[in-house]
Chain A
């Protein structure tokens, strides 16, 4: 178990800067989830922490010891790769015990630890198999087992579930959560998946273009996104944005209509973007209070319905449980509870 500290870390590939001024403090036993679009540098950051990638600038500390120049084996970190990276010529048991054998652990201890891990992960019947005789989910579990047989200072996960089908992913997600509660190990977890991020994380780190955009608990990121990027990235379907100018305590849309703003928002500030989550929009029959819009597309998801409306010339999504507006072409009124509005200035920063 360990604390971790990343101080203005950066990474260049040749002349291209892929990570810039990364600062992050991770507490003992914390579960951190890194999210961000493809290519934003999540894997690179993880690999820098693991020691697989050189650190161009700044510092990475584990338990207050600078790790920059240390090889992976000296950092005592376990990592689960997206590709699983199981050793194909070794049995499941040998895959899991490899790290212990390297440390010259005695045989009975190895056997015991492998048995422990395999019963935790339900791998008991598969110990003698080679990786190629396993299903994707089983391979994923072996990769997990390989990480937990020794008690490392921290766990790193690079999209460990992205190769699994939805059902299996749900199940593994719960198991990871359970494992973390049992082992209490400091963990950093990279994912594309909203739900994984929200359910697993103690804190989420949202990254974009090699920069950290916001760090906070899942609900902080959901309730108070720091900028347009985080606002659009967290939540599914994504937040709706309405562009306009603010004057007289109103947002003036490009089509001339206005939206009244709550008292705590600035009365005048020029160009701005108003954000509202699809699940917070209130629908009412056409003609009642609010802005009128046309239903373009209806996507029933089972537990709800996603309506695509056209508002002020762009797509506006609404998540509803009401089945009254299932007809494309229908006219509806949308209104916004004032406490669900997010305001961003011209630079995209939350006001």
Chain B
């Protein structure tokens, strides 16, 4: 009995370890290449860690490339997209969760359908729409497009969180003298913070790594975001892997920071004690 249980635990742990290793290995490789000097990159064969390490790639990327600008552009675009999408999704999710209205089913179905199209199909029409408006080659244009693509899923995400909050709570607030929107702000939103954090994180990372639209809608390096910027390390004749990976490592930092910032809200259990239980 205990032997089988021990075996079960071990197998369980081993499986988790395997998964973590599998998931994290590319990141490890990214880090490894970014600190490998150029002359060792091809000469040492496949090794887990180079015999000599260097920070030259990072120095070069930060000082001599356009990377800091890509980085700033990406921050602006992803940050704004996350903010705008989450606000819209919170309102939408609340409506989906609490109200019965005509056409609700259709609306939900439509939202789902938008998620089924491969984005590539939409590049040309969207370009056609945005270009007369002067929104191509502009960060605002990107924010609009990203928001449009992220709001449906984010709304469902938020709806799920609102569904988990008993509607007795806002009704109690309304009886206490709040109108619905005040009740939403004072009572429901604070309790939905884990959901808001998760949505912010989800949209931020989606926008942060988006490539197709950034590539198609932006020309030139002035407005390029970082995934597009990475391509500048690919020249006609060679790929500068060291610098590219160094840029990649740097690009991981904001995403990590962002999640560090919101992880406190990702903790569940905020609604404990609200109602009997």
Contacts and interface: CB of A to CB of B under 8 A. Distances in A.
Q: Which of A89, A99, A136 has the most CB of B within 10 A?
A: A89
Given A88-B272, A132-B273, A73 B166 contact: no
Contacts of A146: 172, 176
A72 B273 contact: no
Contact of B273 (A51, A78, A99, A131): A131
Contact of A52 (B171, B187, B275): B171
Contacts of A103: 177
Contact of B166 (A78, A83, A89, A163): A83
Sorted nearest first, the 3 A-B pairs with minimum C-beta distance are: A132-B273, A99-B176, A83-B275
Contacts of B190: 89
A336 to B, nearest CB: 44
A280 to B, nearest CB: 38
B273 A130 contact: yes
A133 interface: yes
B174 A85 contact: no
Contacts of A133: 273
Interface class of chain B by DSSP: helix
Interface of A: 50-52, 71-73, 77-79, 81, 83-89, 98-99, 102-103, 130-134, 136, 139, 146, 163
Interface residues of B, number: 24
Contacts of A98: 173, 176, 186
Contacts of B166: 83, 85
A83 B182 CA distance: 21
A85 B169 contact: yes
30 contacts: A52-B174, A52-B175, A71-B174, A72-B171, A72-B175, A73-B175, A73-B177, A73-B178, A73-B179, A78-B176, A81-B168, A81-B172, A86-B172, A87-B172, A87-B173, A88-B169, A88-B270, A88-B274, A89-B190, A98-B173, A98-B186, A99-B176, A99-B177, A102-B178, A102-B182, A131-B274, A132-B272, A132-B273, A136-B276, A146-B176
Given A72-B171, A77-B175, A83-B274, 6 more contacts: A51-B174, A73-B174, A73-B177, A78-B175, A88-B270, A98-B176
